[in-house]
Amino acid sequence: MNRRFFLTKLAAAAGTLATAKVMAQSHNMGNMSHGHSTDHNAGHHSGHGDMKMDNMDMGEMDCRLLSESALPQNLPLPDLKLLNNTSGQSGYFKASLTAKPVNVQLTPEINTEFWAYNDQIPGPAIEVFEGDTVEITLKNALPQPTTIHWHGLPVPPDQDGNPQDEIAPGETRTYKFTLPENCAGTYWYHPHGHNTVAEQAYRGLAGVFIVKPKQDLLAHIPVQNWLMSDLKLNTSGQIADNNMMDWMNGREGQYVLINGASKPHITLDKATRARLWNACSGRYLDLTLSDADIYLIGTDGGLIEQPHQIESLLLSPGERAEILIVPRKTGQQSLKARAYDRGKMGNPPKETTRDLAFISMKQDSLPTLPKQLHTLANIGKAASVKTLEYTEIMENGKGLSGIQFLINGKKHDLNRVDLTSKVGEVEEWEIFNNSHMDHNFHIHGSQFTIVSHQLDGKTRKPEYICHKDTVNLKPYERVRIKIVQQHKGLRMYHCHILEHETLGMMGQLEVV
């Protein structure tokens, strides 16, 4: 594969995606290759009013963005407002959502058009119990078709917002499903239409979906919810379109929001359980917090069996975790996302560590915990094996249409079934990232357990069992997972860097 290429005629890019917006500029876009420039200065966001577009560095394409300090910081962390349950019946959650454009006054000077669920950024938080029946009606008041996908939840395919089941603008549809017992966990919801996911997500459409256990063994520990999302605003305060860098690498804006706020102030009065979501389009979050003991207690699909002490936590786009934060000292610290090199293409700016939030902590000791947080049943031996291979193709001179992210050599096709599985049959899937960049793997409808990671000739077993629906793969890593399908129908699997998914790094599994 030719990794060094020269993109010309970017205008030719527009052809492939009907609805995705691309940069409409017909300039030479510079030498695009993997790796980081060493001479790139961090101030590339400012000034370049008369920039020369010819032969420009790809990193300079973001020069017309608001400064990072344009949004207020250090304000109290906003709560996630709950979606109102109108059913009045126990075990039944009934609610409605409207997806529509909304203007948000971010500061006295900045009025930004978002696309939002019920006018809220992020969308309203859905909280239900395992075993509940959920009925949610979505009205689509967007200028595009949409769906809602219940990321990670074990819902039947025909209720899971597949791209085949789009709701046209102006139309309404009701999603209804009953959650099984024993699925308590930290999920979320977001659009999943055809070719529109990247845009609808970066315009603001996403919300958390928490499934609570009937019996909460950790009820004595306070909980905070931190939904981390990405925002990229141009100098007029509007959400910027994706540029070529965004499409190639996954979009990263100049802001990381927590519950909709930039660098908020968080107070931890005592040991706290935090649910974390990486709802960013393309940004990896390698989280650290000093002066606190951090224990991983849950992953995408719920609690793990024993608390697992960690120094840092890498969440790739779409992943979630539950952690227990035990402050060791009283004082102020910041929640940081460390520089993480994920092999971006096109001479991107050097990765830096960034503050995500300012945290005031009060020293506390480890709360009493049950001997076992959760019991994760072994699903048994795999009866069959599936293999997936991620590849990238970069062709010179073709703009966006020359960039392809493929699974088993193919781009997503709504009308093609790529793989078939049987309900109830345990399978092992081996996913091989045969590329220079980190990609992750997400599958709809079922949680999986990880069997092994293989990288640089070394095979590593996981240190603990956990339920995941999204897992990262470093370049040339192979991950083996065990999974069993519970429902018949069509399932998607894809890279959760939303630009890659939207460009077709997605496949379809028919469960029979």
Q: Which of 422, 412, 410, 24 is nearest to 192 (CA)?
A: 412
Q: Is 283 in the site for ligand C2O (CB under 6 A)?
A: no
The reply on whether position 453 binds ligand C2O by CB under 6 A is no
283 binds Cu ion (CB under 5 A): no
DSSP symbols for 333-373: EEEEE-------BS-PPPP--EEEEEEEE----PPP--S-S
d(CA 119, CA 104): 9
The structure tokens 């979906």 sit at 209
Q: What are the φ/ψ torsions at residue 401 (nearest 5 degrees)? A: -70, -15
Main-chain phi, psi angles of 375, to 5 degrees: -115, 125
For residue 162, how far is the Cα from the chain centroid?
17
The nearest distance, CB 308 to ligand C2O, in angstroms, is 24
- Total of residues contacting ligand C2O (CB under 6 A): 10
Give the position of tokens 């931190």.
226
> 435 and 485 in contact (C-beta within 8 Å)?
no
Using CB under 5 A, which residues numbered 127 to 156 contact Cu ion?
151
Token digits of residue 314: 């890498």
Binding partner of residue 100 among Cu ion, ligand C2O, none, CB cut-off 5 to 8 Å per kind: none
Nearer Cβ to ligand C2O, position 60 or 300? 300
Binding partner of residue 494 among Cu ion, ligand C2O, none, CB cut-off 5 to 8 Å per kind: ligand C2O
Kindly state whether residue 467 participates in binding Cu ion, applying the rule CB under 5 A.
no
Q: 374 — phi, psi (to 5°)?
A: -165, 155
Contact with ligand C2O (CB under 6 A): which of 492, 497, 503, 505? Answer: 492
Partner that binds at residue 218, options Cu ion, ligand C2O, none, CB closer than 5 to 8 Å by kind: none
- Closer of 197 and 495 to Cu ion (Cβ): 495
Block residue for tokens 């997605």: 506
Task: Note whether 342 binds Cu ion by CB under 5 A.
Answer: no
Of 182-190, 195-203, 264-272, 493-501: span binding Cu ion (CB under 5 A): 493-501
- 74: β partners: none
* Tokens coding 221: 């520990």
**Closest CB to Cu ion among 45 and 500?**
500
Q: Which is nearer to Cu ion, 124 or 152 (CB)?
A: 152
Residue 249 DSSP class:
H
Question: Rule CB under 6 A: is residue 203 a binding residue for ligand C2O?
Answer: no
Quick one: what does residue 436 bind among Cu ion, ligand C2O, none, with the CB cut-off 5 to 8 Å set by partner type?
none
Q: Binding partner of residue 497 among Cu ion, ligand C2O, none, CB under 5 to 8 Å per kind?
A: Cu ion
442 lies in the site for ligand C2O, by CB under 6 A:
yes
Q: Are 130 and 212 in contact (CB under 8 A)?
A: yes
Question: Site for Cu ion (CB under 5 A): how many residues?
Answer: 6
What is the DSSP code string of 130-181?
TT-EEEEEEEE-SSS-B--EEET----GGGTT-TTSPBPTT-EEEEEEEPPS
Measured distance CA(478)–CA(461) in Å, rounded: 12
264 closest CA partner among 180, 170, 382, 358? 358
Binds ligand C2O (CB under 6 A): choice among 436, 444, 453, 480: 444
Closest distance to ligand C2O from the beta carbon of 206 (Å): 9
Tell me which stretch binds ligand C2O (CB under 6 A): 83-91, 164-172, 332-340, 490-498: 490-498
Q: How far is the CB of 164 from Cu ion (least distance, A)?
A: 15
User: What x/- string results for residues 427 through 466 when contact with Cu ion is judged by CB under 5 A?
Assistant: ------------x----x----------------------
Point out which residues pair with 109 in neighbouring strands. none
Q: Are 274 and 218 in contact (CB under 8 A)?
A: no
The Cα–Cα gap between 135 and 4 comes to 50
Quote the CA–CA distance of 277 and 329 in Å, as a whole number. Answer: 26
**Smaller CB separation from ligand C2O, 151 or 500:** 151
CA–CA separation, 471 and 10 (whole Å): 33
Tell me which of 497, 498, 503, 511 binds Cu ion, using CB under 5 A. Answer: 497
Give the contacts of 295 (CB within 8 A, at least 6 positions apart): 307, 308, 309, 310, 323, 324, 326
61 φ, ψ to 5°?
Answer: -70, -20
**Binding residue (CB under 6 A) for ligand C2O from 13, 32, 140, 149:** 149
- Nearest distance, CB of residue 425 and ligand C2O, angstroms: 22
Q: Whose Cβ is closer to ligand C2O: residue 354's or residue 444's?
A: 444
Nearest residue (beta carbon) to ligand C2O: 151
Tell whether residue 151 is a contact of ligand C2O (CB under 6 A): yes
Q: Please report, as residue ranges, which positions from 297 to 326 form the binding site for ligand C2O (by CB under 6 A).
A: 318
Residues that bind Cu ion (CB under 5 A): 151, 439, 444, 495, 497, 500
Residues that bind ligand C2O (CB under 6 A): 149, 151, 190, 192, 318, 442, 444, 492, 494, 496
